Every structure is written in structure tokens, then in C-alpha cells.
Amino acid sequence: MQRALSRITILNEITCIHRLIVCRTLAELHEHLDASQLSKDLGGTIDFRLFEWIERRAAIEKLTQSIHELSEMLLVFIKQCDEIEFPNAVDSTQQLLLQHSTQKTELEQELLRIKTWGHSLLCIIRQQHKATASIPNHFADEVNEIHDLSLAPDQAAHARACANALTHVDNSECILQQFWCLHEARLNRCLALRHFEQRFKEVQCTFIQLHNNLSQLPDINTSLLRFECYRTDNNTTIREEIDQTLIQLDDLSQRTQTMISQATLLANDGLDLIMEQQKQQSMAYGIDSIEPKCQELDEMKRNLTGQIDEKRHNLKLLRTYIDKLESINDWCTRGKDMLAMHPIHLSNDKASRSLTELENFLSDLSTINLDELQHTSTPEPLRSMINQVFNRVNDVRDLCEKRCEQLRRLALPINRPVQRVHPLPLQQTESLNLIGTTTSLLQQQMNEHLTSADNDHNLSSSSSSSNNNNSTTASECMITHNAKMDKKQRHVVTELLVTEQVYVEELRTIIEGYMIKFDEPERYRYLPPAIIQNKSVLFSNLPDIYAFHATSFLRDLQQIYDDPSITNTCSIGSAIAACFIKRKSNFKLYEQYVLNKSQSERIWEQFCAGHPFFTKIQQSLGHRLPLDSYLLKPIQRITQYQLLLKETIKYTRNEQECLHLQAALRVMLNILSDLNDVMHSTQIVGYPDNLNTLGRVHLRGENCLISKEKRRGTVYTRTKTSTRDMFLFDRDILLCKKKDEGNGKSVQYQFKELIRIIDIAVCTHPKNDRNKFELLLKDWSYIIQLPNNSSNGDKAEETSVKWIDTIKSCVTQQTEQRRAEMKQRSASLDHPAYAHRRHLQHRATMTIRAPDSDDPDDEPTTLSQFNETTKANSKRNPKISINNSIARL
């Protein structure tokens, strides 16, 4: 210390900028400084204690360090609360709120502790040692008071430092309170949202359970099925079941109303949450989650209520139908009995009585009140049954009204003029002269003969009168029978026309509702490429089928039905038959559709089933079934024509008309047989090439016994006999082995052998056995025995003849096609060498004479001469030799 001071003294005048005075005694010090500026140990008046100052300074530094650590803890807490992700469960949100509240309480306690510590330290500095001193709310006032107090400089500095630290603590406490108000509000909103979501899930589960309970209740289809089962018995059982179902439905409706009130309250709470957040102008937390859930609650309420009302309406309507059906059946039965028991009478009194009874009977129909069954919202199965009931009632009512018209005409009084009658002259009877002496026996025989003659005369007179009455009754019965037959035939034709209109409308719905939607831009981008690329496979040639039925077939049927010249002359059956026969070639469109059906079903199952594109279209069209069910309509429709033709034949009286209808029926049965063959051909597996290259399927043979023989010159060696299914295509015959898993649904045909049509040399009956036919090839012979009972009902002999004729036509067609191809190929080869070769072949052909030629001067050219000529030409031009070889092949 002395050394340092000495050095400073020595270097003072050289290094120091300001003047430096070194005081060596207190007197010198007092000359420069006042006593109030010095401590007592230096002769001043300041009471300065070094150890006390060090202790207080250390306490202030420790207080400042604690405040700094508390500030860091506060910042960490605020950052953690800001960055935390709110949980999705109520329990987790409650735990998070409790955890943050605990942390906030701990921070507040720490702040209070530091404030108490700082206040105590400040009181010590200000010499306030009373324990009852209270902590001020704001330390800014405390700082102002420090300036007003007369403290020593060191104490004043310590007091200001302590007051500043306490002010910082106060600011930190304000920041914590402000942040906690915002954060607690966020946590409470999150907790309210989680409570809303939890209640929503509970309500949703309850609605689902109610919907399942509703679906378990018998619907109208189940009730109709049970009604059909109990139809012949008493209907009390089905009535009781419907009443029990209605009671269960009422109970379910009450529970639904309770849940609807809860759902309404929940939706209102959700709306209150949204309004509260909007009112506070805070961050809209969960609004995008609350609004869809409120809409979903309204949708669930509306759907469940609508389904319950619809099921209740349908069941009540079915109950009304069952109650009225018994009365309707009784009324129709009484009407038929009255028509059968009260024929057309000739007397006025009986006609009047019958007319009165029929009019009273018709008036009883108003008491049944059939208008209760007429509802626009009636489901389809029950609507069809109600329509049948109305048709039946209308038929009986029409018959009764027609009978009433006839009886009214008969009940009119008849004023007949009195006719003058002249008596007839009495005719004398010839007497019998007995010749000779007649024995008594002969006389008795003659008397018996005369008696029997008189009885015969009386019987003949009575029988003649009865025959007149019987002939009148028989003619009336015949007229009634003919009228019934014509009416039934008319009903069948009407059914054909109506179902055709429905079928065309369904096809139009498929095309306009599904196919056209594929090309719409707003729907196109949502479809995967697999569906877009397979559109033609999915729908096949459905537009062509629709065009044929809508523009041709339906129009023909409508013209026939509306033409009075056809309907009045009772030739409607012939016109219908001509329509089918004329459009026979158009029905071939179904072959392509059936051929493509398996691929269409595979595309539907892989890519389309359950896709939102098809589901939305189904809902917009109001279809109860998906698209694949409607794609079966063409196959179902083509099988209905032969049934309708059979019904038409059944109610046709004219023989010529029956023949025309039978011809049309044969056409449609042949088409169905072809479609069946095409459908079976799609199940062929194991064929190494594409089946579409074989052409069209002509025939199919089931369970054919095939004997395959090897030809060695004129000797035949039997090799194998097997049972195969045959498929005759345009180009080839496929021999397959049938594989059936036993359920009758999954049938496949394993490819075994192929016979080229062009390789068949002869096709005929072997050894005059017309139940078989033989195919002769170059090295092989196939003897095919067809089964006795074919699938289409033809005999084995007729089937074999059909196979032979079809194979011959295919051979002819293939031969002509090959000739046309060769001719086209030869025409395309325009080279001098080819022209020279054709000239030589023409000369050789003209030179060779046939064995049955009539020209004696025409000598045949031998084969050796022709070969020598060919060899000579080949030496001159080798290309001609090669082309000749190709031509021979």
C-alpha cells in the first residue's frame, strides 16, 4: 500500500491528467473534505460500519439473484404454457389445468416469499425492526419515501437497490396474473369443448343404438313375407305381430324423443360456446369442430325420426291392407258366386231380382273404403299388392256392371202383339192289320213295340225342347269362354308392353344417371384411372341395347297395341310374333353383353363397389340397389320374353296365330340357348390363347362321349374314350373337361384339346348311326356320341344333325375366307415372276384333263411331265420354284 502510494506520488506530475493531492495527516484531509463527508474513523460524522455494509450488500445481491432465478422460472412457465398442445380428453384437460394451477400457485408463493424477504431487508436498512410492519402494495412509493428520508449514503444506496428489486418482483407478479387470466380462459374453453365432444359421442352412440334397435324391428318386407306364409290361414297371427311391432315402435319413439331433447340441449350448448367466443373476441378455438357436430346432431335427429315415422306409416298401412283384404276377398268371392249362380234369365221378374241383388252388391263396395289404401308414399312391394287388389276389384266390378246392363235390358217390359192361332186338322192314324192267326206272344210284342214307340216319341219331343235350351246355354258358355281367353291374352300383351316400357326406362336411367356422369369434370377428377379406363368393360354395349329397345322394339309393340285394326280382328298374337321374328338379329346384341358380363362383375368388385362416386349417384337417383344389380336387368329381361310368349300361346284361340307365336317362341329359345352357350364359354380356363380370336360360339355339347382314333392308312387304332364338353366356334372346336365344385354356381371348363375347323375333311354319321357323328381329319378320327337328353330338350338324332350342319357351314365359311385371303394376297403381289408363275399354272391346269372329260382328243398330261416342266422353270428362275411350293402348301 505504501509502495503504491509512493509510486503514485512520484509519478503524479508525469502521468495524471488531473491534480492529485496526497494527504498524509487527518488535518490535511480535513482541509480538502468536510467532516460530513467522512466516516468517524477519519474524524468525520458518518457512522460507517464496514462489516455491516458487507453483510447488507451480500443480502441485496442474494435477493437480486433470487429475483433473477424467479424471473427465469416465470419465463419458462409462460413459454411452456404457450407451446403446449391441448389434449383431446376431458380427464387429460382437467389434469393439465390442475398442473398449471399448481405451478402458478408455487410461483405466487415464491414471489410472496421474495417480497417478504425484500421488505424485511428494506426495513432493516431503514432501521424498522418492528415485526408488525406491513408490506406495501406498490414499491414505487417506497422509493419516493427513501429520497425523503435522511439516510447515510451507503444506506440510501442499499435502500434504493432493495426497492428496485422489489419493484421488479411486483412487475413479475403483474405479468404472471395477466398471463394466467388468458391461459386459464383458454384451458376452460378447451375443457368446455372436450365436455361437449364427450357428450356428443355419448349422444351419437345412443342414436346408433336406437337405429340398430329400429333396424331389428320387422320392416314391411319381412311382414309381407310372413303375410304370404300365413295367407291361407287365419290372419290373426300377423295382425298380432304388427300390433306388437307398433307397440315396440312407440316405445322406441319415446326414447328417441328423450334423446332428441338431449341432442337439442347439446346443440344449444355448442352454439352458446361459439357465441361466447365471438363475444369475447378471442381466438375461435373449436368453432370448426362444434358447427359440424351441431349439424350432424340435427341430421341424426331428422333421419331417425323420419325412419320411425316411415316404418310406423308402412306398418299401419299394411295392417289396414290386411284388415281390408279379408273384406275384399269376401266381396270378390260373393261377386263371382253371384255371377255364376245368376245367369242371364229370360223372364223379367228374375232379371229384375238379379239386377237388384247385383246393385246392392256393388253398393257394398263403398263400405270397404278402398281410398285408405291409396297413398303416394307406399313402398314398392306393398304398392304392387295393392294394385293387384284394385285390379281384381275392378275386374269383378266391370263384370258385374256389364251383367247389370244386360239385366236392365232384359228387365224392360216386352209388349208382344197377340197372334191369331188356327187349329190344325186331326191326322188319322193308320190301323195295323194283323195277317193270319197271330199268336198272343206276337200280339204282346207288337203292343210293347207300340208302347215303346210312343215313349220314344214323347222322349224325343221333350229332348228336342231340352236340346234347344242346352244349345243356347252352351253357346253362351262358349262366348263367355272366348271372351275370357281374349281378355287374358290382352292382359298378357299389356304386361309385355308395360314391362318393356319399365325396362327401357331403367336402361335410360343407367345411361343418363351413371355413364354420362363419367364425363362431367367435377366428378371426373375424383374417379381413379382404373375405373375410367374400364368404363367400356363395365357397361359393355348397354347403349346399343337401349337404342334397339327404345327406338325399334318398344315402338313396334306400341304400334301393335294402339292399332285397332289388329286388336279388333283378334290377330294381335300374330303381330307380336312377327315383331319378335323381325327383330331376331337385333337380339344378338345380348351375346356381346353376356360375353362381357364376367369381366364387368370383376371390375365392379375390384374398383367400383362402395366407391363414393357410385354411392352418391345411387342416392341422387333414389335407387335402393347399387349399379351392379341394375346391370343384371338385360340378362333378366331377355329370359322373360319366352315366358310371356308361352302365356300368350296359352290364351290364344286361333290355330294360325298359335303357329306364328310358336315360331317366335322357337326364335327366342334359340337366342337363349346361344346366350347360354356364350355364358358357359366365358368359364373356359387353361386355353393358351385369347378366346376372342376363335369367333362366335355356335353350339355347345354337354357330357359328350368322344372316341379318338389314330388313322394309319385305312386301319384305325382306338386310343382313348373320354367324356368332354364341346364348344363349336367359328375357327375351332374346343374339347373341355367340366369341373363342378358341387354347389352348382362355380362351374369351370378345363381346356383339353383343340380341333381346327379347316382341318376337318369329313363330317358325317358313322355306320348309319344317326345318334352319333364323326369328324375325319388327316391322321385322326373323332366319333362323338351326344347324350340322349340335351339341355334344350332336343333328341340325340336331331342334335347330331344340327351339329353336322353347323360344322359344315363353318368349314365352308372358313374355306371361303381362306380363298378370299389368298386371292387378296395374290392380287397384291404384282411382280413379273409371279405373273409368269400364274401363267404356267394356268397352262398346266388347262392341259390336265379330268377323268370324266368328254373330249376324246384331250389327252391328260402326266404328273411326271408337269414336274419336269416345273423343274425346268425353276432352273431358270428359282423364285418361281419357291412360290410354287408356297402355293402347294
Sole residue written with cell 506530475: 13
**Mean pLDDT calculated for residue range 379-385:** 66
Can you tell me the distance from the alpha carbon of 174 to that of 105, in angstroms, rounded to the nearest whole number?
A: 14
**Mean pLDDT calculated for residue range 773-778:** 83
Q: Report which of 632, 734, 605 is spatially closest to residue 677, judged by C-alpha positions.
A: 734
Residue partners of 23: CB distance under 8 A and separation at least 6: 29, 31, 32
Topology (CATH) of 683-823:
PH-domain like (2.30.29)
Q: Residue 782 is placed in which grid cell?
A: 373323332
Q: What is the pLDDT of residue 651?
A: 87
Q: What is the pLDDT of residue 283?
A: 54
Q: What is the pLDDT of residue 666?
A: 92
Q: Of 9-23, 282-296, 427-441, give the lowest mean pLDDT range.
A: 427-441
Residue boundaries of the structural domains of the chain: 2-42, 50-194, 217-411, 495-677, 683-823, 831-851+858-888
Alpha helices by DSSP H, 749-877: 796-828, 832-847, 863-876
- Strands 780-785, 772-776: pairing is antiparallel
The tens digit of pLDDT for each residue in 200-221 reads 888 889 888 888 888 887 766 5
The tens digit of pLDDT for each residue in 542-558 reads 999 999 999 999 998 88
Between 679 and 20, whose confidence is greater?
A: 679
The tens digit of pLDDT for each residue in 649-673 reads 988 888 888 999 999 999 999 888 8
The tens digit of pLDDT for each residue in 383-394 reads 667 777 777 788
Q: Same CATH topology for 50-194 and 495-677? A: no
Between 470 and 702, whose confidence is greater?
A: 702
Are the CB atoms for 96 and 187 separated by under 8 Å? Answer: yes
DSSP state of 21: -
Can you tell me the distance from the alpha carbon of 772 to that of 781, in angstroms, rounded to the nearest whole number?
A: 13
**Mean pLDDT calculated for residue range 258-281:** 79
pLDDT at residue 421 tops 50 = no
Q: What is the pLDDT of residue 376?
A: 53
Residue partners of 102: CB distance under 8 A and separation at least 6: none
pLDDT at residue 417 tops 70 = no
| Biggest CA-to-CA distance, the chain | 222
pLDDT at residue 453 tops 80 = no
pLDDT band at 634 (very low <50, low <70, confident <90, very high): very high
**Mean pLDDT calculated for residue range 304-318:** 82
Are the CB atoms for 688 and 757 separated by under 8 Å? Answer: no
Q: What is the pLDDT of residue 261?
A: 86
Q: What is the pLDDT of residue 522?
A: 66
495-677: CATH, from 1.20.900.10, 1.20.1250.20, 3.90.226.10, 3.40.50.150: 1.20.900.10
pLDDT at residue 764 tops 90 = no
Can you tell me the distance from the alpha carbon of 285 to that of 192, in angstroms, rounded to the nearest whole number?
A: 11
Q: What is the pLDDT of residue 235?
A: 60
Can you tell me the distance from the alpha carbon of 750 to that of 241, in angstroms, rounded to the nearest whole number?
A: 53
Ramachandran sector of residue 540 (left: φ over 0; alpha: ψ -120 to 50; beta: rest): left
Q: Would you list the DSSP string of 111-170? A: HHHHHHHHHHHHHHHTT---TTPPPPS-SHHHHHHHHHS---HHHHHHHHHHHHHHHHHH
Sole residue written with cell 309385355: 496
Q: Would you list the DSSP string of 577-605? A: HHHHHHTTTGGGHHHHHHHHHHHHHHHII
Sole residue written with cell 480538502: 32
Maximum mean pLDDT: which of 551-555, 706-710, 866-870, 873-877 = 551-555
CATH number 1.10.10 is the correct assignment for the domain at 217-411: no
| Residue 784: φ, ψ to 5° | -110, 125
Are the CB atoms for 336 and 377 separated by under 8 Å? Answer: no
Q: What is the pLDDT of residue 225?
A: 53
pLDDT at residue 618 tops 60 = yes
Percent of the residues in the chain that have a pLDDT greater than 70, as a whole number: 69
pLDDT at residue 76 tops 70 = yes
Q: Report which of 769, 821, 774, 816 is spatially closest to residue 797, judged by C-alpha positions.
A: 769
Maximum mean pLDDT: which of 357-366, 375-384, 455-464, 567-576 = 357-366
Q: Report which of 574, 551, 711, 728 is spatially closest to residue 649, judged by C-alpha positions.
A: 574
pLDDT at residue 881 tops 50 = no
**Mean pLDDT calculated for residue range 674-689:** 85
Q: What is the mean pLDDT of the chain?
A: 74
How close are the terminal C-alpha atoms of the chain, in Å?
A: 134
Q: Of 634-643, 809-818, 880-889, give the lowest mean pLDDT range.
A: 880-889
CATH of segment(s) 50-194: 1.20.58
| Residue 716: φ, ψ to 5° | -110, 130
Q: What is the pLDDT of residue 876?
A: 45
**Mean pLDDT calculated for residue range 837-853:** 49
Between 867 and 29, whose confidence is greater?
A: 29
- Strands 684-685, 747-756: pairing is parallel
pLDDT at residue 374 tops 60 = yes
Q: What is the pLDDT of residue 743?
A: 54
Between 115 and 524, whose confidence is greater?
A: 115
Alpha helices by DSSP H, 412-439: none
- CA–CA distance from 532 to each of 519, 608, 611, 780 (Å)? 9, 11, 13, 49
The tens digit of pLDDT for each residue in 780-819 reads 888 888 877 555 556 777 888 888 888 888 888 888 888 8
Between 491 and 465, whose confidence is greater?
A: 491
| H or E element, residue 485 | helix 440-510
- Strands 684-685, 699-712: pairing is unpaired
pLDDT band at 507 (very low <50, low <70, confident <90, very high): very high
The tens digit of pLDDT for each residue in 128-186 reads 433 334 455 555 455 555 544 556 677 777 788 888 888 888 888 898 888 888 888 88
